[in-house]
Structure 1
Amino acid sequence: MSTDNGWPALRVSDWEPTRDTLHMWTQIVGKVRLTHSPLLNHWWQVTFYVSPRGLTTSSIPYGDRVFDMEFDFVDHVLAIRTSDGGSATVALTAKPVAEFYTETLSALQSLGIEAGISARPNEVDPAIPFAEDHQHASYDPQAAQLFWRQLVQAHRVINEFRSHFIGKVSPVHFFWGSFDMACTRFSGRPAPAHPGGAPNCADWVMVEGYSHELSSCGFWPGGGEEGAFYAYAYPEPEGFAAYSVGPDAAFYSQDFKQFLLPYEAVRTAPDPDRAVLEFLQSSYAAAADLAGWDRASLEDDPRRWLDQR
């Protein structure tokens, strides 16, 4: 069910089987993008983006063509489109990962696209090869659509927060490995090599992802009854965990080593946007102030040209 303020309610426990299946499906599609896209810093070339219908890869290069793949949570299909007019779909229905994997590769092949991906998931344990995964086979279309609507709201507000930063900052994008939305600001200074340790993921992957000092925030369907907004710093400066971060429902999790703001606290707040923005700004201040970022040169008002129009 959803509230009248546009922030839908969705208990993680109510859709966990669908969430875990969808996670594996997104890994398959994400690996297709990874296979055909040149490296961008911090793996930005592999992510998805919130679209008016779901989650999209955006354009993927393939020879002299481009194609895209979109999880459409309105019509519940994986839509594949090519720049020469080709199209194919894979139905999003309750089916094993192995079946979705076969159907997706077949749909790509029908469009003349080869997808020699690494055919097992990352950042999960156990990492069941896609072709052998008959364990994850759930799909609740209403839950998938509500999750996408959560992402729409989170994307909208995080983009507002992003607009105040003029230094190096990532897009607001969705990582299929960790199955979360993220936006990351950078100080401009290098960071110590990340120790790695993510399950079924080579340490050098994390070294690239965390090569520079950062403050990251986002949303994921975990960490709270209905998911949670999160914020962390790498490397974490001394005193970070004890920094005063708002609103009142926010707290530092020793388990996750990051600040969390339960989604349900946002959804039921008098002004959800304001609650999220307070969390994002105060957790960023914790990272930037304690680590001595040059905030004056990294931040600006996105409305700075309004009086010139």
Structure 2
Amino acid sequence: MLTNPVWPALAVDDWTPTRETLHMYTQIVGKVKMVLAAPVNHWWHVTLFVDSRGLTTGAIPVGDRILELSFDFVDHVLVARTSDGRGETLVLGGSVARFYADVMALLSRLDVDVRIHPVPNEVADAIPFPDDTVHATYIAEHARLFWQQLVQADRVLRRSRSEFRGKVSPVHYFWGAMDLAVTRFSGRPAPVHPGGAPNCPDSVMVEGYSDELGSAGFWPGGGAEGAFYAYAYPAPDGYAAAEMPEGASFDAALGEFLLPYETVRQAPDPDALVGAFLQATSAAASRLADWPPAPQAPAIPADRASR
């Protein structure tokens, strides 16, 4: 069996307590961004981004200032900074209830006035944040390894994104389901989404899936160590039977293709395998649904490419 230190092993079952706690931590920070940031189509304004130390909100306008909240999975702190030179640091750990109270107090000290709906989304058992003393486990090494999985996923998803010239999302982290995703769009409207996500208004899904799309990403589910996934909405006839690289398969219950992370990690060339999966799934979605051709990227002159 091959091992690749760049693609770390982290069994889903081994880090369930930390994962569930971290999920709620990121929901709290994500909801702060959702309230403060200007709305963007498909809820792109609420997402987090992978960075060199963890996950970050990026710049959030707050009056005439900018706020940034960042999970640092090297030093295991939440860092808050504002463009007027102020900053606060919060050590990660403890119950969700404590983390929620500490984040709200931290923002108040930075003169950031924000009130969120303090209940998680897209989970079946939605314990309000102020009452959640159930989720209180934070094992630093598990959080670090998950971030390193996201680093690898972010790299390959960005490369795939660059191949599409049409409307395409950033590579970003949706805190509702803990997935890192990138989405391509055909340019045509889609049927109204039926909704149905747990503890999530149907209107959220209607906006997110307003246009015909093909989406792919990574999340800590679908395999022993997580999985890369891909789906189309609406799924065209024949999509589930499309030919895929060895190791990938269609999950009828989820309605999407899965490529287990452990299969990728043990492959001779993990980047190539994920790249082939992303290319095959996006090609199947666009071909079977007869997407209009996307504009072609202009050639980069040799003198510019060398600068």
Q: Aligned to 2:205, what secondary structure does the other structure show?
A: helix
Which residue of structure 2 aligns with residue 263 of structure 1?
261
Q: What SS does structure 1 have at the residue aligned with 2:268?
A: coil
Offset of 1:308 from its aligned partner? Answer: 4.0
Instruction: Output one character per residue of 1:231-274: Cα deviation in whole Å (capped at 9) or x when no partner.
Output: 0000010111011112x100000111000000000000000000
- Tell me the equivalent position of 2:284: 286
| Partner in structure 2 of residue 213 of structure 1 | 212
Query: Is this contact kept in 2: 1:50–1:173, CA < 8 A?
Result: yes
**Superposition RMSD in Å:** 1.2
In the alignment, residue 51 of structure 1 is paired with which amino acid?
Answer: D
Report the 3-state secondary structure (helix = DSSP H, G, I; strand = E; otherwise coil) of the residue aligned with 2:222: coil
Q: In structure 1, what is the equivalent of residue 14 of structure 2?
A: 14
Q: How many residues align?
A: 303
Aligned counterpart, 2:272: 274
Task: Report sequence identity in percent.
Answer: 57
Shift of 1:300: 4.0
Whether contact under 8 Å (1:120, 1:129) holds in the other structure is yes
Alignment equivalent of 2:250, drawn from 249, 252, 264: 252
Q: Which residue of 2 aligns with 1:27?
A: 27
- In the alignment, the residues of structure 2 paired with residue 299 and residue 70 of structure 1 have an alpha-carbon distance, to the nearest angstrom, of 36
Are the counterparts in 1 of residues 209 and 233 from structure 2 also a CA contact under 8 Å?
yes
Once the two structures are TM-superposed, the CA of residue 306 in structure 1 deviates from its matched residue by: 5.1
The amino acid of 1:264's aligned partner reads E
Deviation track 1:205-249 (CA, whole Å, cap 9, x = no partner) reads 100000000000000000000000000000010111011112x10
Q: Deviations over 1:143-200 (max 9, x none)?
A: 1000000000000011001001110000000000111000000000000110000001
Q: Which residue of 1 aligns with 2:117?
A: 118
Matched, 1:133 2:132: yes
Task: Give the CA deviation at 1:89.
Answer: 1.2
Q: What residue is the counterpart of 1:89 in the other structure?
A: 89
Taking the aligned partners of 1:284 and 1:300, their CA distance within structure 2 comes to 17
Would the aligned equivalents of 2:4 and 2:265 in 1 still touch at CA under 8 Å? no
2:302 aligned partner, one-letter code: D
When residues 3 and 110 of structure 1 are mapped into structure 2, their CA distance, relative to the original with a 3 A threshold, is: farther
Letter in 2 for 1:107: L
| In structure 2, distance between residues paired with 1:279 and 1:4 | 19
Show the 5 A alignment for 1:123-272. 123-246=122-245, 248-272=246-270
- The Cα shift of 1:298 comes to 4.1
* Aligned-residue offset at 1:294: 2.2
Q: Which runs of 4+ in 1 moved over 3 A?
A: 2-5, 298-301
Work out whether residues 173 and 180 of structure 2, in 8 Å CA contact, stay in contact via their aligned partners in 1.
Answer: yes
Question: Is the contact made by 1:97 and 1:133 (CA closer than 8 Å) also made in structure 2?
Answer: yes
Q: TM-score, normalised by structure 2?
A: 0.97
Q: Which residue of 1 aligns with 2:54?
A: 54
| Distance (Å, rounded) in 2 between the aligned partners of 1:114 and 1:106 | 10
Kept in 2: contact 1:164–1:299 (CA 8 A): no
Aligned: 1:71 with 2:33: no
Deviation of 1:5 (Å) = 4.4
Contact 2:193-2:209 within 8 A present in 1 as well: yes
What TM-score, normalized by structure 1, do the two folds share? 0.96
State whether residues 184 and 214 of structure 1, in contact with CA within 8 Å, keep that contact through their aligned partners in structure 2: yes
Q: 1:231 touches 1:280 (CA, 8 Å); kept in 2?
A: yes
Find the residue that maps to 2:216 and give its secondary structure.
strand
